[in-house]
Amino acid sequence: MYRRALLDFLHWYQAAGTTVLDRATVQRYRALLVDAGLAPSTVN
C-alpha cells in the first residue's frame, strides 16, 4: 500500500514538472487527493 502511494506521488510530481520538494508541493498533492474524494483522515 505504501509503495503504491509513493509511486503515485512520484508520478504526479514528475508530471507536474515541479523541481522542488517542499511543504507547499506536498500540500498541493494532499489537496488533489482530498478533491479526488479520499477522506482527509486517510490522507497522511
- Residue 3 CA neighbour count, 13 Å, CB half: 0
What are φ and ψ of residue 37, in 5° steps? 105, 0
Q: Label residue 43 by pLDDT band (50, 70, 90).
A: confident
Distance, in Å, from the CA atom of 25 to the CA atom of 31, rounded to the nearest integer, reads 10
Is the pLDDT at 2 greater than 90? The verdict is: no
- Residue identified by cell 512520484 is 10
CB 40 within 8 A of CB 34: yes
Is the pLDDT at 36 greater than 90, yes or no? yes
Q: Mean pLDDT across the chain, nearest whole number?
A: 92
Decide: 16 and 27 in contact? Cβ < 8 Å: no
